[in-house]
Amino acid sequence: MNAYERGFNDGEHASWCDRKQSRPRRILGEPLGEYQRGYSDGYRPRNLAWLLTEAPRKAWSEKEDE
């Protein structure tokens, strides 16, 4: 596995963990090398449809008391 593939695998794993724990997506800086480029590609969604597969959840501050 080369540096890009390792970065892609790590970025994809980090993205899944963040979404599972309902953490907001991190803003990634400009990739510096192959590993960072792979991480960035793996972390970001493949396309807009993939990003919107779940209905948006209201923030805790927007939820009404029931």
Q: What's the whole-model pTM score?
A: 0.62
AA letter at 45? P
Residues 13-49 have pLDDT tens digits of 998 888 788 777 777 777 788 998 888 888 887 766 6
Taking Cα atoms as reference points, which of 40, 44, 8, 39 lies closest to residue 25? Answer: 44
pLDDT of residue 56: 59
pLDDT of residue 21: 82
